Structure 1
Amino acid sequence: MNSPPAAPASRFNLLHEPWIPVRPVGGGPVREVGLRELLLNARDFGRIDDPSPLVTAALLRLSLALLHRALLGPERIEDAADWFLHGFPTERLGTYFDQWEDSFDLFHPDKPFWQVRDLTLDLDGGRYRSHWTRLGTEVGSANTSPLFNAAARPGGERRDSLSPAEAARRLVEGQTFLLRGTIQRFTLSARDAPVATFALSAAQGRDLHETLCLNLPVYAAQLNDRAVWEREPLSVQFVREFYDDKATELPLGWADRYTWPSRSVRLVPEVGDGGEVRVTSIGFAAGLPFAGAPEGEGSALDPMVTLRPPADPKKPEFFPLKLRREQLLWRDLSALLPDPHLERAAVVKDGQVKFSARTGREPTVLQHAHDLLQAAGQPQDVGVSVTGLLSKDAKAFAYRQETYTLPEAFVTDSGGFSDNVYNALNGAKGVADGLRGATRKLAAEVLSRGGERDPHKDDVSDLAQTLPGLEAYWAALEQPFRVLLTDLDTPGPALEAWRGAVEREARRAWTLNLRGAGAGGAVHGYAYRPRRVEGRLQPSPQQVLERALSALRSGTTPPQDTAAEQEATP
């Protein structure tokens, strides 16, 4: 390939050129469309469907930013309901597309889409030149593990170039999910993209149009917002001055958040002998320092992010929910649902300020989905997808997307639905605590030989952690929980079936632990026989579990002595 870009031939307008993968309604192979067709014909598509969930989530955020800015709304929930039922105002969309046509050109010489116009490869002796893989979190950026790094595969092979459509998708993904790390271009260390490590929630409708509407919250207070294509074209001098002055910039609204220039990028098109355009090399550097945080209200709160309360209720800071390596999100799903209970409140008592316990804040998009379906008079099942990058020490080691289906009760009785989910999960966690306490007590009994000697607490912990019951318990409950969610339109039978599943899997897990601790009558004796310690009769390991199961059936809190056993458990 020839390295210099060929100017007018190297144009790729994202409004018109096919580059976003979509799955048609009713089946059929995935095909690619431009942004204009995506939004004007959204009812024809089931969903945006890229092989990478990170790309899919980033493309949804870009589409929502474009709708918010083109329609300057919805200003009221009634507007959102009207669009949901009757479609977006196409004339307003068309006028906006025409106004910003040039700003969506991926290779525009003066204002390339979501890029820095003069970040050329020969700037400062070529130190800004990088391979395209810097843009893809899972395909070889500097912040990935060898599992994901394309250049680290056996033989060191990697794809040499991308088509313009592929380059556009990687650009959008990178601006949304790239992690912090050493970069030495404008600054020593680039920051995380604003939502790089957060769990991003999105409501899913029956087609793409419904999905877009369900994730388009009321926008009336954000008319001063802007998207990246509405900015003055970014330049090297503009970005460099931010770092020279140690400045940061606040997002003006949701579209500004969704399209934040977290990296300075310039895609370099190369034209082959057959006239095809490819991207191999890119200009790459730190982007604009982001001063926003997920805490707060309005434009200071990303609509897709769930906020959790701190452990200390006296501390005002919320923190964003992240996906965890060791457990799936369903065990924490109540954090995503509108909470009918009061949040933090300060009460003055005896001259001192007391703080009540408080809950977190559900994603704005899910609260909006509930309000929209109510206003439209169209209760229906709602899918919820949660996408996130899993990382440690700014190194990505996995990504995950989890999808759940919420029944009509989410719309018709959100308070009751949320309470039922919370109580179901709380009951399962109470039994897990009982199982954990019983397992630790069993390990102590086995190592002490029924009280003949005093084992070290670390040895007890090590043995308890090798027993497989607790992990098997949680793994077995995922499918019953999904069934519970879909059946909560009739909560009585659904909750009874759930409690039955919890008890059944807890007993199976306990059997696994007994086998793991060693076969024979001695282990069973340790498990079922109470022992007197310092004149006080202590419950057997089996009794600890039985009390937790009894509390599950009655909907009460386990007895105090069971709680004490749980507190002693690591």
Structure 2
Amino acid sequence: MFSFNLLDEPWIPVRPGDGGPVREVGLRELLTQARAFQRIDDPSPLVTVALLRLSLALLHRALRGPKNAEQAAEWFRDGFPEDRLEAYFTAHAQNFDLFHPERPFWQVRDLTPDLEGGKYRSHWTRLGSEVGSANTSPLFNPAARPGGERSDPLSPAEAARRLVEGQTFLLGGLIKRFTTSAKAAPVATYALTAAQGHTLHETLCLNLTPYPEYGTDQAVWEREPLTVAAVKRYYELELGDVPLGRADRYTWPARSVRLIPEGDEAGSVRVATIGFAAGLPLEGAPEGAGRNLDPMVTLRAPADPKKPERFPLKLRREQLLWRDLSALLPDPHHEIQVAGQGGDTHFQASSGGQAPGTLTHARLVLEGVRGRQDVALTVTGQLSDQGKTFAYRQETYTLPAAFVTDAEGFTAAVTDALGAARGMAEGLRQATARLAAEVLSRGGERDPHKEDVATLARTLPGLGAYWAGLEAPFRVFLSELGTPEQARAAWVSAVDRQARRAWELNLQGAGGDGQTLGFAYRPRRTDGKYQPSPQALLERALRALHRSTDVQEVAPA
């Protein structure tokens, strides 16, 4: 009989705090010796954040907390109560065996590949979001080799990591196993935010948000093992299930999986074949609601006030997240702590969007820890189109002490800075559109089609260069917010500089000769109405940038 217990067998890659090379540890060592490690460090950011979520679920269940940020701050300073961890590990040891015949970890016990004529048989690559052939474009998929040969089998450690990643990030799509189309894992396409400490222990405490549902919650290893008949019943009766709480949500069985271990010639255990089918249908919004909201998910307020439904923040192909950073920042006007029984607390939004609970919690924990006020955050997610993964991305930002000591002022400063940059971008866009119209009309001699104008404006490089050039200055701006006036002055100067540089690129892209400059500076009248020159539109936006933080001062084109 094969066995691989995730509590004690090495399978989670960590970077030691002493600067040594990355090595693998089991869950027991990961959590009891977390101060000895810098972080979980898998080459794939999807695997890394999925392993973090699993670790948090295990801590929530073993410690039945924290009740509030104060208790998390106590654990931050003094460490986790190791006796409670060890008692929990002992009580649930058999539930963490990857190949247990009756309770295989996070799997459906009787989903064997030969079941029903082999219709559930698949290759392990179905588990990896970035290597799964069903949800990945060929250029992003190294699974298939020349001649049709598949990738090498996985070691038990690799199979365990792929299992955790797949249950967290697999996309929805055609599957025809229990159902026609399987739903995506609950947070498969969302931008997931995690606070980062100086050690893995600090990171765990900063993301271990208040846990009021500890009495009703269950992790996947605490539930009765799923069976094929049980999962089929959900689809036959068109039912859905609701997560019982945080740990249940973090360990949701998004796919029915059974890893099949095999011994190779060298005596090692390998996994090539798996049983694979649709998982447990999730009822309600994937990101949850109320106390069951996923703490790593950011909710954005709708653009239309008549539509009250908030929507989860996702990473976008065309821009980096720093341009939306204010959506992640806790706003004291919109975040309130709600007390529950026994002194436990949770957070909810009073209006507008909602920052991720992990970052709200991290700020409160650091308030209670003297000598530590800066915090880094990572935002991780995959980018997909029509059910296909084409990229994944992880962005990291360091927030200074002002984030903790003056949350309201910090959020206001970041919102103001990003608003000023967007206002300038709108002015640059208007000037670029006018320049394109002038070039195509040759100063009013012709009447170009509006689609031709829009096409030429899109091909000019200025706006893209403008935003690209502001990323580094924005990081500097964040680091200098201890002196907000100086930080804003430097930021405005950077925005001005990048806007002028972008405009020069547009002029060069439109021709770069004297005639182009004439078009750029020439105002004219059309149907008796005065139209400012493209250059005048740019200068108007620059004046608004220096005069006020009001991004609405840029006049409409």
**TM-score, normalised by the number of residues in structure 1:** 0.93
Who is 1:440 aligned against?
433
Select between 148-157 and 307-316 the one with higher mean Cα deviation: 148-157
1:351 paired residue number: none
Distance 1:469 1:358 in 2: 37
Give CA deviations for 1:9-55 in whole Å, capped at 9, x if unaligned: x1000000000000011311000000000000000000000000000
Tell me if the contact between 2:206 and 2:361 (Cα under 8 Å) persists in the aligned partners: yes
Deviates more, 1:428-437 or 1:486-495: 486-495
1:230 matched to 2:222: yes
Contact 1:76–1:218 (8 Å) recurs in 2: yes
The match for 1:189 among 166, 181, 185 is: 181
Equivalent residue for 2:449? 456
Please say which of residues 501-510 and 534-543 is displaced more in the overlay. 534-543
Would the alpha carbon gap of residues 382 and 245 (structure 1) be closer, same or farther in structure 2, given more than 3 Å must change?
same
Superposition pairs of residues 317-328 of structure 1, within 5 angstroms: 317-328=309-320
Correspondent of 1:537 among 530, 535, 543: 530
The residue matched to 2:378 in structure 1 has which SS?
A: strand
1:474-516 per-residue CA deviation (whole Å, 9 max, x = no partner) reads: 1111111111111111111111111111100100000000011
* 8 Å CA contact retained: 1:343, 1:359: no
CA distance in 2, matches of 1:147, 1:212: 35
State the Cα deviation string for residues 292-340 of structure 1 (Å, max 9, x = none): 3256644431000000111111212111000000100011011000124
Q: Distance in 2 between matches of 1:358 and 1:463?
A: 41
CA contact (8 A) 1:22 1:48 kept: yes
* Counterpart in the other structure of 1:507: 500
- Across the aligned residues of Structure 1 and Structure 2, the Cα RMSD in angstroms comes to 1.6
Query: Who is 2:255 aligned against?
Result: 263
Q: What residue number does 1:522 align with?
A: 515
What are the superposed Cα offsets for residues 398-419 of structure 1, whole Å, 9 maximum, x if unpaired? 0000000000101000100001
Distance 2:289 2:214 in 1: 12
Which residue in the other structure is 1:216 paired with? 208
What is aligned with 1:139? 131
Partner SS for 2:277: strand
Which residue among 401, 413, 416 is the counterpart of 1:408? Answer: 401
1:40–1:90 Cα contact (<8 Å) kept: yes
Equivalent AA in structure 1 for residue 218 of structure 2: R
Unpaired stretches in structure 1, ≥5 consecutive residues: 1-6, 345-356, 566-570
1:370 alignment partner AA: R
> 2:36 matched to 1:81?
no
Whole-Å separation in 2 of the counterparts to 1:212 and 1:109: 32
Q: Kindly report which structure 2 residues correspond to 1:305-454, keeping only aligned pairs within 5 A, or say none.
A: 305-342=297-334, 359-454=352-447
Given that 1:198 and 1:388 are in contact with CA atoms closer than 8 Å, whether structure 2 keeps it comes out as yes
Q: Is the 8 A contact 1:227 1:256 kept in 2?
A: yes
For residues 391 and 153 of structure 1, the distance between their equivalents in structure 2, rounded to whole angstroms, comes to 23
Deviates more, 1:334-343 or 1:47-56: 334-343
Give the one of 4, 12, 32 matched to 2:4. Answer: 12
Q: The residue matched to 2:482 in structure 1 has which SS?
A: coil
State the shift of 1:468 in Å: 0.4
Over 3 Å counting, the alpha-carbon distance change for 1:342 and 1:267 in structure 2 is: closer
CA contact (8 A) 1:339 1:359 kept: no
Deviation at 1:523, TM superposition (A): 0.9
Residue 151 of structure 2 corresponds to which residue in structure 1? 159
Structure-1 residue corresponding to 2:465: 472
Residues of 2 paired with 1:214 and 1:450: CA distance?
Answer: 59
Post-superposition offset of 1:558: 5.9
What residue number does 2:285 align with? 293
Contact map agreement 2:195 2:358 (CA 8 A) in 1: yes
Take 2:306 and 2:105, find their aligned partners in 1: how far apart are those partners? 45
For residue 268 of structure 2, what is the aligned residue in structure 1? 276
Q: Which residue of 2 aligns with 1:352?
A: none
Identity %: 68
Q: Distance in 2 between matches of 1:151 and 1:16?
A: 29
- SS of corresponding position for 1:426: helix
Say whether the 8 Å CA contact 1:135–1:141 is kept in structure 2.
no
Query: 129-138 or 213-222, which moves further after superposition?
Result: 213-222
Corresponding residue number in structure 2 for 1:489: 482
SS of match in other structure, 1:302: coil
- How far apart are 1:358 and its partner, in Å? 5.6
Distance, in Å, in 2 between the alignment partners of 1:262 and 1:295 is: 13
Q: What 5-or-longer segments of structure 2 have no aligned partner?
A: 337-349
Match of 2:61 among 66, 69, 89: 69
For residues 359 and 510 of structure 1, the distance between their equivalents in structure 2, rounded to whole angstroms, comes to 35
1:261 alignment partner, SS class: coil
**What one-letter code is carried by the residue in structure 2 that aligns with 1:448?**
S
Q: Tell me if the contact between 1:547 and 1:558 (Cα under 8 Å) persists in the aligned partners.
A: no
Q: Which residue of structure 2 lines up, in the alignment, with residue 350 of structure 1?
A: none
Change (3 A) 1:340 1:220: closer
Q: What is the rounded CA distance, in whole Å, between the counterparts of 1:52 and 1:377 in structure 2?
A: 34
Tell me the distance in 2 between the aligned counterparts of 1:455 and 1:490. 50
Which stretch has the larger CA shift, 268-277 or 175-184?
A: 268-277
C-alpha change, 1:178 and 1:342, in structure 2 (3 Å) is closer
Mapping 1:100-111, distance limit 5 Å = 100-111=92-103
Q: C-alpha displacement at 1:154, in angstroms?
A: 4.6
Q: Match of 2:555, SS?
A: helix
TM-score, scaled to structure 2: 0.95
The 1-side partners of 2:291 and 2:90 are apart by 27
The separation in 2 between residues aligned to 1:558 and 1:371, in whole angstroms, is: 31
CA distances 1:516-548 after superposition (whole Å, capped 9, x unpaired):
101321111111122122333221111111111
Superposition deviation, residue 375 in structure 1: 2.2
Alignment CA distance shift 1:262-1:400 (3 Å): same
Contact 2:186/2:287 (<8 A) preserved: no
1:498 aligns with 2:498: no
Contact 1:145 1:397 in 2 (8 A): yes
Deviation, 1:76, is 2.3
Letter in 2 for 1:388: G
1:124-157 deviation line (CA, Å, top 9, x unaligned)? 0111110000001111331111122224455545
2:14 counterpart SS class: strand
Structure 2 SS opposite 1:161: coil
1:339-387 Cα distance to aligned partner (Å, 9 max, x none): 244599xxxxxxxxxxxx9631000000000111112334421110000
Aligned counterparts of 2:529 and 2:335: Cα–Cα separation in 1: 42
Which residue of 2 is the match for residue 354 of structure 1?
A: none
Instruction: Mark the CA change 1:141 to 1:300 in structure 2 (over 3 Å): closer, same or farther.
Output: farther
The 3 A distance-change label for structure 1 pair 181 and 311 is same
Contact 2:416 2:549 in 1 (8 A): no
